[in-house]
Amino acid sequence: MKVDIFDLSGNAVEKIDLPKVFETPVREDLILRAVLSTLSKKRQPYGADVLAGLRTSAHYHGSRHHRYSMMNREMARMPRLHGKTVPFLYFQARMVPQAVKGREAHPPKAEKIWIQRINDKERKLAIKSAIAASTSKDLIMKRGHRVNELKSFPIVVENNIQEISKTKQLMEFLKKIGLEKELERIKEKKIRAGKGKRRGRRYRKKVGPLFVITEDKGISRAAKNITGCDVIRIDNISAECLAPGAVPGRLTIFTKSSIEKLGDWKG
């Protein structure tokens, strides 16, 4: 399968054969597992104090026919404060979940294991599958990218794009290859529904193109000012960046050198 290589003016200057990795079947189930595995390692464990609600002198006398028995008093049988305590707290229930200031019934445990493991071969196959999904126009449009004017995928560019350090130059290049509507799409942002509005994530932003490079000579500075655009080196490529939210088909722009490196890549 051959694709065009574009220069910075948006003109096709030559053709290149895509490596076999682009022929991998798209496995959405493996991509989902790989993305969830990556996200699970970013999760910070949390849990309740093991003594929360148990720091009390409340206790229960259960023997019958005893001077200090708490039976036959027409009250629920649960640990209560009694003895040398302030009068208004006398016989107040404590410790049990249904009591005021009692422990939580099933609190979150700090020892819970959040990490979801995945076999190395499955992870590599998921990455190959996500790379192959970048050749499908149907999957790319299904993700919401506006690429009607483009005919062949993935987009391959000459290596000198890595030297662009100005956002304006990078946006001009994207417009020249037919991604003007895509730039308009990623400018849109919506206010999130729910409590996230007051937790530092008020707006939901669009996911834009991904630039896959071999050497960063300034392009990351240019791309960071474009909402939704990401830059990643081919050595650090992952299923999460190729398929955000575990949905394959992200619009991906490869450099010529990264395509050549994928030909030798064993995953």
- Quick one: pLDDT at residue 230? 96
- Quick one: pLDDT at residue 44? 93
For the chain, the straight-line distance linking the first and the last C-alpha, in angstroms and rounded, comes to 20
pLDDT tens digits, one per residue of 90-99: 889 999 999 9
Please give the model's pTM, rounded to 2 decimal places: 0.85
pLDDT tens digits, one per residue of 173-187: 999 999 999 999 999
Q: Taking 70 as the threshold, does the pLDDT of residue 244 lie above it?
A: yes
Q: Which domains does the chain have, with CATH numbers?
A: 2-45+118-264 (3.40.1370.10)
- Quick one: pLDDT at residue 258? 94
* Residues facing residue 156 across a β-bridge: 5, 254
Q: In sequence order, which residues have a C-beta less than 8 Å from that of residue 164 and are 6 or more positions away?
A: 8, 170, 173, 218, 219, 222
Q: In sequence order, which residues have a C-beta less than 8 Å from that of residue 255 and are 6 or more positions away?
A: 156, 157, 158, 159, 161, 162, 211, 212, 213, 214
Closest to 17 measured CA to CA, from 135, 177, 116: 135
- Quick one: pLDDT at residue 220? 95
pLDDT tens digits, one per residue of 186-236: 999 999 999 999 999 999 999 999 999 999 999 999 999 999 999 999 999
